[in-house]
Amino acid sequence: MSSDESDDTAEDPPVEGEPTESGESFALTYVAPFLGVLLIAVGIPLAILGGYVVVQDTLNLCGDPSIDVRALGDEERPSAAVGELEYGELSQAEQRALEQAIGSPLEEATVEGEMENRDVLLEGAVVEVDGERYYVRIASLNSCLRAEPLLFPIGMVGILLGIVGVLTPPIYRKMAGFEERIQQR
C-alpha cells in the first residue's frame, strides 16, 4: 500500500511540500492516527467505568431493587413453581412499593428500604391485595458497579493521547510546511 506510485492510483498525487520520504509520511499519516483511535476506543470504557463508580456512589444511584406486578385472573397461576406470599409478610417498604406499582400505569415501582422477601420475590410470588391476586417479581436489582475509580484518569489520559495521535497528520503537515518556509527564507 503506497500512495506514491501514483500513476494508476486514484489517490493523491504526491502533495507539494511533502518534505519527508514516504515511509515516514506513511507512519505519520496512517499508523499514528490508527494507534490514536485504538487508544481512544480503549480509553472510553476505562473512563466510563472509573467515572461512573464515583457518580453512582455520590448520587446513590444503585441498590434499591424495583418490582413489577401483574394482575392475575381467577385461578390463573404464572407457573406451577410460583409460591404465595401473605400481604402481611411483606416489609413496610415492600408493601409501599407494591401499592405504588399497582397504581402505576407501568406496573412498576422501586422498593426504598428494607427488603425482607428478596429471595422469594427474585423468583416471583403471588400476593393478594384487597381481594385481587397479583404476580409480583423483582424487575431489576439495580446492582452497584464496582470498579477502581483510578480507571477514570487512566482512561482520560488514554483518550487525550489518542486525540493527539489522530491529529498527527494535520499537525505534521503544518510543521513540515513551516519548516519548509523557514528553509526557503
Q: Around Cβ 134, how many Cβ atoms within 10 Å?
A: 19
- Is the Cβ–Cβ distance between 47 and 157 less than 8 Å? no
Minimum gap (Å) between residue 77 Cβ and other proteins: 15
Looking at 32-40, 73-81, 86-94, 120-128, which segment touches other proteins (CB under 8 A)? 32-40
Out of 40, 67, 121, 136, the residue judged to bind other proteins by CB under 8 A: 40
φ and ψ at 151, to 5 degrees?
A: -60, -30
- Is the Cβ–Cβ distance between 66 and 142 less than 8 Å? yes
- Give the whole-angstrom CA distance, residue 161 versus residue 44: 12
Q: Is 60 in the site for other proteins (CB under 8 A)?
A: no
Out of 44, 82, 156, 161, the residue judged to bind other proteins by CB under 8 A: 44
Residues 6+ apart with CB under 8 A from 168: 28, 29, 32, 33, 36
Minimum gap (Å) between residue 114 Cβ and other proteins: 21
User: Which residues here bind other proteins, judged by CB under 8 A?
Assistant: 1, 3, 8-12, 29-30, 33-34, 37-38, 40-42, 44-45, 48-49, 52, 55-56, 61-62, 66, 105-108, 139-145, 147, 166, 169
